Structure 1
């Protein structure tokens, strides 16, 4: 089944951003070591395959002048089993041509190798108007797309977010021991404490679900700090011993005024079930989307299947004890 892949999109962005960032190791390490690696550039003769592509890619991009502007204008990614693909467009201004705006397009095809996504095909181009190429204006698709959009309205928004779930370990046993009245009182205090921490970190407390919660954050950094603060707060709290486990995934979500939907939400929930008592488990997409210089410690890289989701998935444990 083909489905949108925020995880792949994060990997694609990481590779693209390594070009202006001159991060040579990332450019190489995110590409396959297999002989079928294919690289297509914008030049007439730029079609290469094999291991030489991986070894030479950093130097190939390294001769590009410094970037004055490198802004993403479109991005999407999909996966189907062990295969995936991403398409991205950018606006670029280079230091040696400050008056020219380029709009390169990049398509990346991925294969899942030992639990990690690797680029097996890269195709880059700088668009040329159809009139310059064929001498005609080819508007059929553009006209159909514009017509399809007319009158389309839905009370929802798409956006990038880190989604966090919390879950109380052995909640049924605790509720049985405490009794309904005390358990209800403790849950009210628990949710109030979580809401305070989440909102102080810049997040949104979306909802409570039985003994668990769902929240969202504009950035992965905020979600990770909130998760650490939640466990640290509970570690020194008075009252009944309530142990939590937390899961976080990052990507594009569909949001209404009251809830969040999509594969990112589903994956975050699945990751939570893999966490042990007092653990924070995060997706590789969350780790990859962190801004440079953020000081988080990750351990226990694990490749696992997730119920209801295709393929294997890379997750990490986030350390939280100071």
Structure 2
């Protein structure tokens, strides 16, 4: 039976001890927290900071000793575990005494139980680069949908595991301009009705629709993937012109109920996974894929590593073949 993915307060404490040891330049603690495996890996933010095995384990304390003094402001830290494997991501602002610059840093960790003790087997440090600088655009549609979902937060939402799905019509602005407002409005409404029917047929809940996108939630990861595949199939079979292509993203995690956030980081990551999907593609996070792993009628493409806006490090996503 597949072991469940669950949040890990224990690993949050481990990662905080690691961050404190780096800040304090505690070489003994740093060496003790690293795996003894030769598959140990580290990827830093600068060119050339890519080390492995004993070289990393022996040399990292000296590397840390060279870091100028800095102030540390942690913004977020999450950790999860599944059996003997765990992972965490952290976002923090560091202000270095050498130049007084405040820089956002993102850290990801992979940990493994070795003789009953959690050890770090992979660490990745990065600095975010704005989309405008990297690809010349900023993605806005999914951000607006996330904001709308938060505005529509209801206190009767249940806590627990949820799979959150985002859909988005590709090149909607260009198509709307070509069709005109009236025809485009009718086309979008027809698509949203199709999405609602497909989502509810799998016992999902359409949380919010905004413009040409939707956000929905499912209590079952398998149901979310089934709905996504069916929506892509039904959308592809629509006879209307021009054909609409959609991208879909799904992420699974614990629902966190607060006064100002609908699904916590789960909704944000689901939106980012959707933004990473190509036209006509369904992308799912590694957590979602893991929950439906093993023998299944669901098949996936090979995983690929991507960066997700606002989330630290690299993330593995899978394409669901529909």
- Classify 1:112/1:312 alpha carbon distance in 2 versus 1 (closer, same or farther; 3 Å): farther
> Cα deviations across residues 114-144 of structure 1 (Å, max 9, x unaligned)?
99xxxxxxxxxxxxxxxxxxxxxxxxxxxxx
1:272 Cα offset (Å):
0.8
Q: Which runs of 5+ in 1 are unaligned?
A: 1-5, 13-31, 38-49, 51-71, 88-105, 116-153
Q: Where in structure 2 are the equivalents of 1:277-288 lying within 5 Å? A: 277-288=279-290
Partner of 1:99: none
- Residues 236-267 of structure 1: CA distance to partner in whole angstroms, max 9, x if unpaired? 11113110010011111235899832111111
Structure 1 contact 8–285 (Cα < 8 Å) conserved = no
Partner of 2:191: 190
Name the residue aligned to 2:264: 262
1:179 deviation in Å? 0.7
Q: TM-score, normalised by structure 2?
A: 0.55
2:315 is matched with which residue? 313
Change (3 A) 1:82 1:179: same
Are positions 1:112 and 2:122 aligned together?
yes
| 2:99 aligned residue | none
Structure possessing the higher radius of gyration over alpha carbons: 1
In the alignment, does 2:234 pair up with 1:225? no
Quote how far apart the aligned CAs of 1:219 are.
Answer: 1.1
| CA 108–218 in structure 1, closer or farther in 2 if over 3 Å, else same | farther
Q: Which has the higher strand share?
A: 1
Contact 1:77 1:85 in 2 (8 A): yes
* 1:114 to 1:7, Cα distance in 2 relative to 1, 3 A: farther
Q: What number of residue pairs does the alignment pair up?
A: 205
Q: Does the 8 Å contact 2:88/2:108 carry over to 1?
A: no
Measure, in 1, the Cα distance between the counterparts of 2:259 and 2:216. 13
Match of 1:146 in 2: none
Say what the alpha-carbon RMSD is for the aligned residues.
3.8
- Equivalent pair of 2:111/2:122 in contact (CA under 8 Å): no
> Unaligned stretches of 5+ in structure 2?
11-34, 41-52, 54-81, 91-106, 126-154
User: What corresponds to 2:46 in structure 1?
Assistant: none
User: In structure 2, what is the Cα distance between the partners aligned to 1:257 and 1:190?
Assistant: 32
Cα pair distance change 1:304/1:7, threshold 3 Å: farther
From the superposition, tell whether residues 188 and 286 of structure 1 become closer, same or farther in structure 2 (CA, over 3 Å): same
CA contact (8 A) 2:87 2:109 kept: no
Report if the CA contact (8 A) 1:206-1:258 is conserved.
Answer: no
For residue 82 of structure 1, give the secondary structure of its aligned residue in structure 2: strand
Match of 2:253 among 238, 251, 254: 251
Q: Distance in 2 between matches of 1:8 and 1:175?
A: 42
Aligned: 1:204 with 2:205: yes
Which of the numbers 255, 270, 273 marks the counterpart of 1:271? 273
Q: Normalized against structure 1, the TM-score is what? A: 0.55
Task: Name the SS for the 2:279 alignment partner.
Answer: coil
SS of corresponding position for 2:37: coil
| Shift of residue 158, structure 1, vs aligned partner | 2.5
Asked whether the equivalents of residues 7 and 254 of structure 2 are also in contact (C-alpha less than 8 Å), the reply is: no
Check conservation: 2:109, 2:122, Cα contact below 8 A: yes
* Alignment-derived partner of residue 34 in structure 1: 37
How far is 1:157 from its partner? 4.1
Q: Residue 244 and residue 258 in structure 1: after superposition, are their counterparts in 2 closer, same or farther (change >3 A)?
A: farther
**Structure 2 vs 1, CA of residues 33 and 282 (structure 1 numbering), >3 Å: closer, same or farther?**
farther
User: Aligned in 2, Cα 1:218/1:157: closer, same or farther, shift over 3 Å?
Assistant: closer
2: CA distance, partners of 1:220 / 1:270: 17
Q: Hey, what's the Cα distance between the residues in 1 that align with 2:120 and 2:297?
A: 29
Farther off after superposition, 77-86 or 242-251: 77-86
